[in-house]
Structure 1
Amino acid sequence: MAASSGTVVALVGGESPELISELGSLRNVDAFTLAVGDETDASRRISTSQASYVISDVDPLAHVAAAWVEFFDDRVTLDTLLFEAEAAADALRAGRAQLPDYYLVLDPESVEGTWRHWWFGALSRKAPTRVIPVASSSGEVRRQLRHLPTGRPWPAEYAEWLGRLQYEVPDRLALQ
């Protein structure tokens, strides 16, 4: 699937469904939430949108993130993390999914434990200006949309990057 011509933003954490609904009323914004099991439809909607901003809660790395957090919290095995990483890398390479241009992490002060290290360590380390903390309010999100920074793109070597996440140890990552 082709990439969206607009800026793709994943709104994660906090009250994202409510905010996404509010943001959908803005002009030139296509905003929607992911229905369970509709990953393919969500990817198609993102890639075909003509809006300047495509805002959703679609995160192609959600399963990888959960496996990474659970791996370091001693709840899953390395095989689970590697499986999820390979599945995500395959979907990204095949065009069934695409990384958003930006992750807006709502209410960053409420993100706890290993999840904080995922968002502001392991993930943001790959493209520091692409993971942005923001207060969970429609006004703050709109303000952030108007001032999104530019920076290096996500790494294109998905398999290598995702396949080495077990070496991204939370306590050794500098939080961005």
Structure 2
Amino acid sequence: MALQQIVEETVSGLGYDLVEIERSAGGLLRITIDLPWDPDASGERFVTVEDCEKVTRQLQFALEVDGADYRRLEVSSPGIDRPLRHEKDFERFVGSLVDITLKAPMGAAAAGQVSANRKKFRGTLERTPQADGAGWQIVWSDEPAVKPGQRVSKKKAPAPLQALGFTLDELREARLAPVVDFKGRRPKDAPPQA
């Protein structure tokens, strides 16, 4: 049986979602798991050390039975910069800050609003209704972030919001933007994070 299939069956059999399989030099096999997303569940649940330990034990057994070649096995959670690969990942993180990289630069489609060679964008992920189904867009402002303690003039006009529509086929990579929230460093108008 192929390594991908063994890992997928084992991880899903234990009730987790397989996010990524990565092989690296030195025989390291890195498996990233996540809890299945339930849109009706209240609050976000996270992968714990016990979850990783449970999957590691089962994978060690399954890989040994099939004679898979690896030296070290590492099972982890997706982390704060979780990759977004499937439609359900995008649905789950609508409204979140994401980093996307396009396969091809914007070219003339940007109408001079952004550099024609730009491929990378950071902004809020939104769903857009389209005739052939649902599309996606990222919304951002090129205004620099305000540093803690910095005064901002109330007369200063904010930079305009920009939006870029895209399909999943146009993406090279998409990830949650790693935003770390230190106590006391949150803007006063931001809602508290759990």
Give yes or no for TM over 0.5. no
Greater percentage in helix: 1
Is the radius of gyration larger for structure 1 or structure 2? Answer: 2
Greater percentage in strand: 2
Q: Which gives a bigger RCO, structure 1 or 2 (Cα 8 Å, sep 6+)?
A: 1
